[in-house]
């Protein structure tokens, strides 16, 4: 055994720091960025509660997207989450339950608005990798990327109406991707899971693969192909994709205020409490 094989040894301070950082990542979740020499930036988020997105992670995620978009070496962005079963469980119900006034509610829902707006204004194309189920705000994130690949296990639902609010903040991104009719259908059936095949038909997903392995192969093939193209042309294409959304800074703030007010209603408080008790 070397002098530093024992993590509890006072002389092994660097090991203790490492363990502390690992513990923080496990308990609080994380957002990691990896930039490859070929210009591909991979942004990976994760949280022990089914990759849910509390406010702290939403802020880190929007910042990571914005910074990658302006990084001189980044030409393409891949957005993914940890694990192989759930892409994103949406909002943190503990944080929803803790909201005590409309201002705090607006601030919370602006977390998702900022992620969507970061995707919208980012000058680099963003590829989404959805390996499993996604709910609520997670559907908004999947809708905000420019091209989304998924596995056949990537069922999804907009669950907001079931907790006394509605998909107001993510709605514009979802509607832009699947159309008003499909978004209305999703919004009004919050308890229903839609299959990845239906996501392909609606336009939420561009490709659906049979396994995580096949998904990663498809992602690798697509990113390799895109990186062979002109960065300037891809940036111009991105501007075309998002034309007509210039007012979203104002729109999503208004939607966040709407959600922040509704989350304080008795119906919403009761539904959130019921959900927490069910998942204890």
In CATH, the architecture of 22-278 is Alpha-Beta Complex (3.90)
pLDDT by residue for the chain (280 residues), tens digit each? Answer: 333 333 333 333 333 333 334 434 446 899 999 999 999 999 999 999 999 999 999 999 999 999 999 999 999 999 999 999 899 999 988 899 999 999 999 999 999 999 999 999 999 999 999 999 999 999 999 999 999 999 999 999 999 999 999 999 999 999 999 999 999 999 999 999 999 999 999 999 999 999 999 999 999 999 999 999 999 999 999 999 999 999 999 999 999 999 999 999 999 999 999 888 777 6
pTM, rounded to two decimals:
0.89
In the chain, domain spans: 22-278
Q: What does the pLDDT look like over 151-197, one tens digit per residue? A: 999 999 999 999 999 999 999 999 999 999 999 999 999 999 999 99
Contact of 39 with 226, CB cutoff 8 Å = no
Pairing relation of β-strands 147-151 and 207-209? parallel
């Amino acid at each position: 055994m070397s002098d530093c094989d024992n993590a509890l040894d006072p002389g092994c301070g660097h090991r203790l720091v490492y363990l502390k950082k690992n513990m923080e990542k496990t308990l609080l979740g994380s957002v990691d960025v990896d930039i490859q020499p070929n210009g591909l930036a991979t942004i990976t988020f994760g949280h022990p509660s089914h990759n849910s997105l509390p406010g702290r992670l939403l802020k880190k995620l929007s910042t990571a997207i914005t910074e990658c978009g302006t990084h001189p070496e980044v030409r393409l962005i891949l957005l993914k989450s940890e694990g192989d079963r759930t892409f994103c469980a949406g909002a943190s119900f503990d944080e929803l339950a803790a909201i005590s006034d409309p201002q705090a509610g607006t601030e919370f829902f602006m977390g998702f608005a900022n992620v969507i707006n970061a995707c919208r204004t980012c000058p680099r194309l963003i590829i989404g990798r959805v390996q499993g189920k996604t709910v609520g705000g997670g559907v908004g994130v999947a809708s905000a990327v420019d091209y989304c690949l998924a596995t056949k296990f990537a069922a999804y639902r907009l669950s907001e109406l079931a907790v006394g609010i509605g998909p107001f903040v993510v709605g514009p991104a979802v509607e832009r991707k699947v159309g008003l009719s499909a978004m209305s259908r999703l919004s009004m059936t919050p308890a229903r899971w839609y299959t990845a095949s239906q996501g392909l038909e609606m336009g939420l997903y561009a490709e659906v693969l049979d396994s995580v392995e096949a998904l990663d192969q498809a992602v690798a093939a697509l990113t390799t192909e895109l990186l062979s193209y002109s960065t300037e042309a891809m940036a111009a294409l991105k501007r075309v994709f998002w034309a007509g959304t210039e007012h979203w800074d104002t729109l999503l703030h208004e939607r966040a205020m709407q959600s922040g007010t509704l989350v304080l209603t008795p119906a919403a408080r009761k539904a959130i409490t019921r959900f927490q008790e069910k998942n204890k």
